[in-house]
Structures are given as C-alpha cells and as structure tokens.
Homo-oligomer: A and B are copies of this chain.
Amino acid sequence: MSDVEFVGEKCGVISMARKDPIPFYMYYALRAIQHRGQEAAGMALFDPDEKKIVCTKGLGLVESIFRRRQMEDLKGSMGIGHTYYSIRLSKPENAQPHLIKTAVGDIALAHNGIIVNSGQLIQELKAKGHAFVTDTEEEAMAYILAEELFAGNDIVKAAKKMVKRLAGSYALSIMIGERVFALRDPLGIRPMCLGKFKDGSGYIAASESVALDVTDAELIRDVAPGELLELKPDGIESNIVGSLENKSYCFFEHVYFARPDSVIEGHSVYETRKSIGRVLAKEQPVKADVVVPIPDSGRAHAQGFSDVSGIPMAEGLIKNRYINRTFIMPDQKTRDMSVREKLNPVKSEIAGRRVVLIDDSIVRGTTMRRIVKMVRDAGAKEVHVRVGSPPIIAPCYLGIDMTTRDQFVAVGKTIPEIEKEIGADSVGYISIDGLISAIKLARNDTCLGCVSAEYPIKIEGEKERFQQRLM
C-alpha cells in the first residue's frame, strides 16, 4: 500500500520463555516484526538476580535502542517485547512494554490493537482512586489486571474478568512476576501465533510467524481467539478466557499489514496475496501489455494477476530505499521531485504500453493519483488500476487510526468518479466475496468493518454486525 498516510496502531508483540538467556532471541524476534512499528520498541525481562522485571525501551528502531554493550547487560530467560507504531506525537513514556509494580507483583504488558472503551475504563479506574501516569489503554489494562489479581482471583480468573471489561482488539504479551503469557481477544482481530524452539528449550508467541523463523522456532498454531496461554520453558498451559461464536479476523493483515513470509491463521500471506491477484484478474479483467506492481506491497498480488491474465509482469516502478525523511518543500517544483524520488518508472517497460498498476488497497487516493500521472508521463498508452481490497468506505476502530470518512477516495463515489479522481483509464477493486474466497476465512469470521461499515463490536454511531455475548 503506497498511501503513506494510512498508518495505524499496528504494533507487534512477543512473549518468550526459555531455559537459557533470551535477550538476543528477543532482539532478533523484535527486528523480525519491526515492520509492525518503527516509533519505539522495548523488552521487559525478569531479572533472576534482582527478582524483578527490568524494562528497557525507547524511541526509534530496535537496533538503535538496543546497542551491543547494553544487550550484554540484559539478563533473563522470561520476557516480553514490543514494537510500537503511532500516528500521534511519540513520547518516550508511551513506549511499551508498560511496567507497574504492585502488591501482587510486577506486571508488564505489551499490546497490539485498540481498546474501544478505554476512555470509559480510564474514567472508571480513576473514579476508584487509580492514578494514571501515561493515560494509555495499556496502563488501564495493567491496572485492571492488577485489580483483579489483587481481589484474590488467580490469573486465569483475572484474565477472564479483564476480557469481560475490555471491548476492542488486543493481542497481548503479559508478564506477571516471572510468568509469561499471551492473550488474544475473543474475536481474534489482531493475529498472534505460538511456536516451539526447535532445540526444545522453550516457547514463543508472536504477532507474526516471522519472529519464530528468525529465532529457530517451529510454528505450532495460532493463539486461539480468547485464549490465555502461559509459556514456560518446558511447556504451555492453555485456558480459554472468553469465547464467541463468530470471530472477526482482520483481513487487512493478509492484504497489507503482515510480512509476506508470515503464516496467519494457517495461511501463507504470500499465497493469499497471489490468490487475491488471481481473483482480481478474473473479476476485473483488462486488456493490457504489462502488469506493474506498486512496490513492495503490491508485488504478490501482481504475480497472481499476471498468472491468471497472462499479461507479463514487470518491475516498472523502482523504489529508492534510502529515503526516510522528506523536507516539505517551499515550491511545487521540488514537491514534484520529492514524489518522484521515492518511486521512479522504468520507461522501457511502460512507454507505449497499456499498463495495469496493482496495489493492495487505496485509501485517500492521493498517492495513487501521483503514481498514475508519473506512469502516464513515462509514456504509458493506458493506465489501469487494480486493487487487492474492496473500496475502503469506513473508518477502522480496531487497529487503524483513520478518524473521518471524508478522507477516503471511495466514499460516495461511483467507479467512474474514482477513475476520474485518480486519473486512470479504469479502476477495478476486488469484491468482498472475491476477497473472502482468496483469504479462505469464513465470511462471518472476518472483520470487514472498513469495507462494509459493519463492526464486530458496538461502536458509538456505527452499525454492529452481530450482537454476541461472551461464553
């Protein structure tokens, strides 16, 4: 997805339990899920000498936060980790894991997702006398857990009570003292999977299976929606702490968020994206000479589209990998340069040809409009846009931070209007049915909020898809 404005609370989490020290394992696992968040990162480890959780975190990439010398000082074989993504101004104190010290022990928590009722929960907790340091939903969850444990519940019961109080999406890595847990919300909105280290030394849970690959762990299965998993060096203990008839897996993980080499809900993300391309080629056929992916996210979709359509694929747009910061330029001329330097066409593949541009999704449409223009300027005879997800018409409240509908190019527009807006000869989206068939998840178990405006959770002013009760 080349719409850089489409950012959200992706984040990545890791839970890890081994017989031997894990700092380097955690480091590698965090780098494997760095794509889920580059704002901040951290790890909380149980220090066996000091008998407490030590949390090290900061702003920036994993590799800039954890330096060689510091890594050597880190200790512990039980821990959790986090990579953080936020569109809000980053503050060092918002980095995770969030650690609190309580009468029931140290509690550390790392979160991927969004708690829809966090405002209300924070208010309730304050009304009971709780004081907040960060005002984050992670602090609220830590306090809720502490409260339930403090009330005398064991951890499973406390987790059950917490699940009842939370509305929203959450894949959580939790430490209570030296015990390590993974917890996934009953709808399974955000992904989380379980792995076993191949050397038999322990277990790992992670947002994506690539964290298992890099630490030489074998993917066992996904953490089940509503499952609380305790990870120990020599085994796991599973408890279902909240169950719903229908799940609500986020399709966007498959379409764009996750790394292509990850396996989610049993399906290779790369294969799913190729399938999407194949379905798209059938649903939205076009006569053209070349299929060009928007790198890097559109590449697998384009492969599938090319396979079915028989139109050859070419890397017609090349990404400059060295652009991190861009100045906001004083004039139009340099503004054009700044667009051009991120993506540059291979004219020989484009000039005089009918080009199919493939991307995973279109949100605001501004970037796609610029790319279409760039491809035309490079001499394309026709430019057709094919999109690997249905039109995005509603905000996501469960992991992507888009607040208003008027940002979406597809809202209230017909396809011809979108074509005009984007400047393409044709625009074709995959259908919801087509998407579902490619993802191979049950329609009723897939969150389609952003493309259907129906949500799996009660959200003020929005339509609730099903009304479900925790079992």
* Proximity bits, A98-136, B CB within 8 Å = 1, else 0: 011111000100000000000000010011011111110
Q: Which of A163-171, A177-185, A329-337, A409-417 lies at the interface with chain B? A: A329-337
A261 x B32 contact (CB < 8 A): no
Q: Taking the nearest CB of chain B, how far is it from the CB of A289, in angstroms?
A: 14
A271 interface residue (CB < 8 Å to B)? yes
A63 proximity list for chain B (CB < 8 A)? 322-325
A129 proximity list for chain B (CB < 8 A)? 102-103, 129, 146-147, 150
Query: Restricting to A331-350, which residues have a CB under 8 Å from any CB of B?
Result: 333-334, 336-338, 340-341, 344-349
* Proximity bits, A347-369, B CB within 8 Å = 1, else 0: 11100000000000000000000
Copies of this polypeptide in the complex: 4
A216 interface residue (CB < 8 Å to B)? yes
Q: Taking the nearest CB of chain B, how far is it from the CB of A56, in angstroms?
A: 10
A135 proximity list for chain B (CB < 8 A)? 101
Q: Taking the nearest CB of chain B, how far is it from the CB of A106, in angstroms?
A: 10
Query: Restricting to A176-225, which residues have a CB under 8 Å from any CB of B?
Result: 199, 210, 213-216
Which of B102, B213, B313, B348 meets A271, CB within 8 Å?
B348
Q: Which of A245-253, A299-307, A379-387 lies at the interface with chain B? A: A299-307
A468 interface residue (CB < 8 Å to B)? no
Q: Taking the nearest CB of chain B, how far is it from the CB of A243, in angstroms?
A: 29
A68 interface residue (CB < 8 Å to B)? yes
Q: Taking the nearest CB of chain B, how far is it from the CB of A447, in angstroms?
A: 24
Q: In the complex, A71→B24 CA distance in Å?
A: 30
A260 proximity list for chain B (CB < 8 A)? 315, 318, 346
Specify which of A135, A303, A327 lies most central, judged by the most chain B CB atoms within 10 Å of its CB: A327
B261 x A346 contact (CB < 8 A): yes
* Proximity bits, A312-323, B CB within 8 Å = 1, else 0: 111100101111
Specify which of A28, A261, A324 lies most central, judged by the most chain B CB atoms within 10 Å of its CB: A261
A397 interface residue (CB < 8 Å to B)? no
B338 x A28 contact (CB < 8 A): yes
Given contacts A126-B103, A337-B214, contact A31 B323 (CB under 8 A): yes
The residues of A with any CB-CB pair to B shorter than 8 Å are 24-25, 28, 31-32, 34-35, 38, 61-63, 68, 71, 92-93, 99-103, 107, 123, 126-127, 129-135, 142-143, 146-147, 150, 199, 210, 213-216, 259-261, 263, 268, 270-271, 274, 296, 299-300, 303, 307, 312-315, 318, 320-325, 327, 329, 333-334, 336-338, 340-341, 344-349
User: Apart from A28-B341, A32-B341, what are 9 other A-B pairs with CB-CB below 8 Å?
Assistant: A28-B338, A34-B320, A102-B126, A131-B143, A213-B345, A260-B315, A268-B349, A270-B346, A303-B313
- Which 10 interchain pairs have the tightest Cβ spacing? A268-B348, A103-B126, A34-B322, A261-B318, A100-B131, A101-B132, A102-B131, A270-B346, A28-B337, A214-B341
List, sorted by A's number, 12 A–B pairs whose CB atoms are closer than 8 Å: A28-B337, A61-B322, A63-B325, A68-B327, A101-B131, A102-B129, A129-B129, A214-B341, A270-B346, A270-B348, A271-B348, A299-B315
